[in-house]
Amino acid sequence: MVLCKLARSPLIRAIRSYFSQPRFWLIVLAGIALGLRFWQLARFNTLVFDEVYFVNFAQAYRQRLAPADAHPPLGKYIIAAGIQLGSWLNSTAKTTPAVGIAPFSYRQANALIGSLVPLIVVGIARTVSRSIGQTQSTVIQWPRQRQRQWQRQWQFTLLSGLFVATDGLFITESRYALLNVHMVCLGLLSHMLWLKAALTPDIRQSKKVLLQTASGCFLGSAIAVKWNGLGYLLSLLIWEIWHCHSSKNKTNLKSLVYLILIATITYSLIWWPHLRITQENLFSVHAHLFSFHQHIGTSGHAACSRWYSWPLLIRPITYEYIRTESQAYTVSNLGNPVLWLLSSSAMLLLTINYALPLKHARSRKLKASRKSPQSDIIGPYLLISYLCNWLPWMPVQRCTFNYLYMPAAIFGFMSLAWLLSQWLNAPSKPTQVIAWLMLSLIAIAFLFWLPLTLGLPLSPQALKTRWLLKSWM
């Protein structure tokens, strides 16, 4: 009786209400992302993988020198800013002998930006899922129906962010001074702002132009980190054309041209500090970069992998390996195998669904009386964004690596999150049980392979059990 009265007390009800609020879980998500990326960030006092290049390039910019790099300069500017901040805050920290800089200094910018990526994914998921509720607002719904819809939206939103926050590839790329997480963060910011401008009903024209301008700036910045940021531009262009067609509006070519113009201006301006050092022009620099990429060989690195192998996690990259008599320390950019298998399956289901036009047409006719065409936003957005960031690598013959799949992988995670949010609220109990089982397997796999992500000590036998494939070694 006492426990029952306590459970009904105003204090306990207030605590339960607070813990059930999405805001609380967003704080938890942010804490998980920050913790996984900043925990013992400086524990390996050596340059890991391409840190050998990018830390030295960033240091060269600080010294007003021009590095001979194969990528645009923005990623190195960001690393250089982190190094400069570290030199102001902690000049007594132990430095890496090869460069004379503390590891935390040249890695902190990546860890911070990598921690923001899950929150930006939350913003994208929230924007596209809310658009469904807004387009269905004219439909009469019972309170329980509205509650279930609200639950599905927030489950989709939080699961999308959680999958990105806890995946091994995204954690590892955020813990070292590499470039990919910068490009992903800026590209996703561009998508989030463009979607807000496109999907917010009755938005003021001035605010819409402001959001589109900011989207173009972030898009140009993503391309100024790596050229494969163009996948974000391609996906936005195709999605905007599809969205205008599905909502029976004329394609606003002016807004698309404006997006490209703003992105181009931003991209060009970012090169200015580099060109000021080298006294070159923008065209000659790009001619050199294009020629360099054309002559990269098809092999030459043990971790080279083709585009079709990335969703299957065939060949991750080992960034660090230290072996003693009784322990081994390994840092790998291996993603969560269960999460990748399920997300690839979810994306395959999504592709099959939209590859069957007759079936899709019939379903749209059945729903036409109840829903606006705009209500079917999430599936096409995820599919277009996924394919535009993955399939352009199909004709590439040069040596490529699994981290190039990062921009596409995010949309695969979101497709799985959308599927699970439907199953968790399905009327069928077995369907709900399957969804919870899938989430449990993802969590177990995360904990099992976490030592390879953070470089935790393992016995040789424990390490061997985590190498399921020979190509993972």
The Cα–Cα gap between 389 and 386 comes to 5
The Cα–Cα gap between 106 and 99 comes to 10
Question: For position 323, what pLDDT does the model report?
Answer: 83
Question: For position 45, what pLDDT does the model report?
Answer: 86
Q: Where are the beta strands (DSSP E) in 324-460?
A: 328-332
The Cα–Cα gap between 268 and 262 comes to 10
Q: Are 135 and 376 in contact (CB under 8 A)?
A: no
3-state secondary structure (DSSP) of residue 345? helix
The answer to whether residue 217 sits within a structural domain is: yes
Q: Which residues of 132-163 are buried (b: 16+ CB within 10 A; e: fewer)?
A: beebbeeeeeeeeeeeebeebbbbbbbbbbbb
Beta bridge partners, 330, equal 321
Question: For position 436, what pLDDT does the model report?
Answer: 95
Instruction: Tell me the backbone φ, ψ of residue 125, rounded to 5 degrees.
Output: -60, -40
The answer to whether residue 110 sits within a structural domain is: yes
Question: For position 281, what pLDDT does the model report?
Answer: 83
- Which stretch of DSSP H or E encloses residue 323? strand 318-323
Question: For position 6, what pLDDT does the model report?
Answer: 52
The Cα–Cα gap between 235 and 305 comes to 24
Question: For position 136, what pLDDT does the model report?
Answer: 45
Query: How many helices (H) and strands (E) would you count in the chain?
Result: 20, 2
Question: For position 370, what pLDDT does the model report?
Answer: 39
The Cα–Cα gap between 29 and 121 comes to 12
Q: What six digits make up the tokens of 400?
A: 């490529």
The Cα–Cα gap between 9 and 7 comes to 6
The answer to whether residue 290 sits within a structural domain is: no
Question: For position 376, what pLDDT does the model report?
Answer: 74
Instruction: Tell me the backbone φ, ψ of residue 329, rounded to 5 degrees.
Output: -115, 120
Question: For position 173, what pLDDT does the model report?
Answer: 95
Rounded to whole angstroms, what are the CA distances from 210 to 213, 274, 364? 5, 28, 34
The answer to whether residue 381 sits within a structural domain is: yes
The Cα–Cα gap between 199 and 127 comes to 7
Q: Which residues of 256-267 are buried (b: 16+ CB within 10 A; e: fewer)?
A: bebbbebbeebb
The answer to whether residue 102 sits within a structural domain is: yes
Residue in the structure block whose two tokens are 């439907």? 422
**DSSP character string of 172-222:** HHHHSS-SHHHHHHHHHHHHHHHHHHHHSTT--HHHHHHHHHHHHHHHHHH
The answer to whether residue 64 sits within a structural domain is: yes
Question: For position 137, what pLDDT does the model report?
Answer: 39
Q: What does DSSP assign to residue 156?
A: H
The Cα–Cα gap between 201 and 261 comes to 25
Domain count, the chain: 1
The answer to whether residue 103 sits within a structural domain is: yes
The Cα–Cα gap between 216 and 222 comes to 10
Q: Which domain holds residue 375?
A: 2-135+148-282+306-472
Question: For position 145, what pLDDT does the model report?
Answer: 54
Question: For position 138, what pLDDT does the model report?
Answer: 37
Ranges of the chain whose pLDDT falls below 70? 1-20, 90-93, 132-150, 247-251, 295, 297-300, 356-375
3-state secondary structure (DSSP) of residue 331? strand
The answer to whether residue 142 sits within a structural domain is: no
Written as one letter, the residue type at 192 is M
